Amino acid sequence: MSEGSTDVFELHYTSSEIDLSWLEKPTQHQFRWRTPSGKWGTSKRRVRDHATLMKALGGQFPTDLFVSTSSWLDPIDLPRLNDLATPAPVMLDHLVVFDIDCPPVCVERLEEARVTALNLHAYVMEHEDLEFLHAVFSGSKGFHMFYRDKERRVFAIPDPRNREQEVRALRSALLQRVLDAGLDVDTRVTADTRRIIRLPGSLHGRSLHQCTIVPLAALEQPVQTLLDTIHRAEGAARIPLKAQQTFPSEITDDGTNGTTPQRAKGDKDVADVVNDVESPRFMLEVSTHVHGTKDRSVMLFWLPRSWGRGQQAMEQAMRLVEEEHLGPCSFWEEGDRILMLCPQAMPRSQLVSIYRRHGLTVRANELQNNEHEWVRISAIYDEEFSWSEDIQPIGLYGLPNAASEARQFSRSHLELERRMGVAREGGASETHAGSEQLPVRIVSRG
């Protein structure tokens, strides 16, 4: 089904209480929610318990409900992080939260997320000075792991702005250590002191599964066993065993791809079991599929953080380009992230094999399960923080060789490359595959 009706959310929040006792002082946290109309609300009063939370909602029952990972001396009307004209808010604490997502939503990918969560916990307990609080099933595509920092020195820094900056720096270093250990966690959550996270006990607005605190022992069981214990609202879509395959088509005038995902027989609406929305973010994505061909794709992905940053990541990418005879390929940068495009039109199975040879297992699985990938190619607009950094072209790298002279290039992705500021000269023997139609979409993600 599509997003649940208002009656579903009203029944949930009036028939069961949300337990806030896991927060040391709920009144020091900010609470935010998404309304049935899609607008966002923020509590204008301190929230102590379920009753005061319901009063803060003002009679509306949210489709999605969130709480801040930081606690504040005054959590009401927090200024934005980049608002230097307003006195900085006083941060009292910041929970360490790791978000582990394995989209698209299915039991198979949730099992991967469960294993990652266990591996993460083992790493944290062995290498970091953190107190474990609990694990949470998000209600959709993964898990949240909550910890408390035992080191309190940073929260004694007198200047509030310097205190928050130092916390962000420490969390960024922690996040990098986790990524360097090969653990695939969401890079936007852990170091963000202004982050909101889905509130345990709330209902996920699209999957209609409850965001639920789960015992650590439950993570040691198959994920299907865990899902059997999770509360679901009436009409909740069944989470499929495997990802549902979709295929891009021509874009429409509004920038969407004009298609709906295929549905498994018996599913009420698998398409609506989608990403968590931690805060509204909008971006432009393009498909790796070569439009007009049956089974051709291009290599397009953000270099993983496990490859390092800047020059170190580029060196790793160049090894891939040289070993697989893909040159020249185009590169863009956004802050410390790098986007890579090799517009050669390859059979999907060949691209999957290349990804696996170079340890890009997530990319390989995504392409194999879904026949194509959607990849962000624009800056991100975040309702809370405005635009992210622009994506800037780095240029073409890698030399053509005899093994690559007879390659076919995707017409549409060559045009994408040109429009994103990278100029490429076509070779005399260059041939093209597919049509000029480029499957793109504008999306809102959490």
The helix (run of H) or strand (run of E) holding residue 328 is none
Q: Is the pLDDT of residue 327 over 90?
A: no
pLDDT at 391 (0 to 100): 84
Greater confidence (159 vs 237) lies with: 159
Can you give the pLDDT at residue 406?
A: 62
What rounded mean pLDDT belongs to the chain?
A: 84
Region 301-312: mean pLDDT is: 86
Q: Higher-confidence residue: 12 or 305?
A: 12
Predicted local distance difference test score (pLDDT) of residue 258: 36
Q: Does residue 350 surpass a pLDDT of 60?
A: yes
CATH fold for the domain made of 6-227 = DNA primase, PRIM domain (3.90.920)
b/e map 374-391, b = 16+ CB within 10 Å: bbbbbbbeeebeeebeeb
Task: Name the 3-class secondary structure at 224.
Answer: helix
Parallel, antiparallel or unpaired: strands 296-302 and 337-347: antiparallel
Looking only at the bridges linking them, the beta strands covering 130-137 and 212-214 are antiparallel
For position 300, what pLDDT does the model report?
A: 95
Write down the pLDDT at residue 392: 84
Q: What are the start and end residues of each CATH 3.90.920.10 domain in the chain?
A: 6-227
Average pLDDT (304-313) is: 84
Residues 6+ apart with CB under 8 A from 333: 339, 391, 392, 394
- The token pair that represents 409 in the structure block: 């290039």
**CA dist 4 → 10, 12, 203, 234, 321 (Å):** 10, 11, 10, 9, 46
Nearest to 192, CA basis, from 161, 162, 166, 171: 171
pLDDT tens readout for residues 374-419 = 999 888 766 544 455 678 888 888 877 655 556 789 999 999 998 8
**Tens digit of each residue's pLDDT (9 = 90 or more) over 176-210:** 999 999 999 988 899 999 999 999 999 999 899 99
Distances (CA, A) of 346 to 318, 417, 433: 19, 17, 10
Determine the average pLDDT of the residues in 298-323.
89
Say what percent of the chain tops pLDDT 70: 85
- How far lies 421's CA from each of 159, 275, 333, 409, in Å? 43, 31, 12, 18
pLDDT tens readout for residues 68-87: 999 999 999 999 887 889 99
Query: pLDDT of 111-155, one tens digit each?
Result: 999 999 999 999 999 999 999 999 999 999 999 999 999 999 999
Q: Distance between CA 421 and CA 18 in Å, rounded?
A: 50
pLDDT, position 438: 83
Phi-psi region at 202: left, alpha or beta (left = phi > 0; alpha = psi -120 to 50): beta
Residue 248 has pLDDT above 80, yes or no: no
Q: Tell me which of 40 and 97 has the higher pLDDT.
A: 97
> CA 369, CA 122: separation in Å to the nearest integer?
29
Query: Tens of pLDDT along 125-135?
Result: 999 999 999 99
Please tell me the predicted confidence (pLDDT) of residue 442: 83
pLDDT, position 98: 97
Give me the pLDDT at residue 250, please: 31
133: enclosing H helix or E strand: strand 130-137
CA atoms within 13 A on the CB side of 345: 22
pLDDT at position 429, please? 56
In the predicted structure, residue 281 carries a pLDDT above the cut 80? no
Contact at 8 Å (CB) between 6 and 36?
A: yes
Residue 443: predicted pLDDT: 76
pLDDT tens-place string over residues 42-76: 999 999 999 999 999 998 899 999 999 999 999 99
User: Does residue 320 have a pLDDT over 90?
Assistant: yes
In the chain, % of residues over pLDDT 90: 57
What pLDDT score was predicted for residue 94? 97
Is the pLDDT at 245 greater than 60, yes or no?
A: no
Taking alpha carbons only, the member of 106, 115, 109, 150 closest to residue 135 is 115
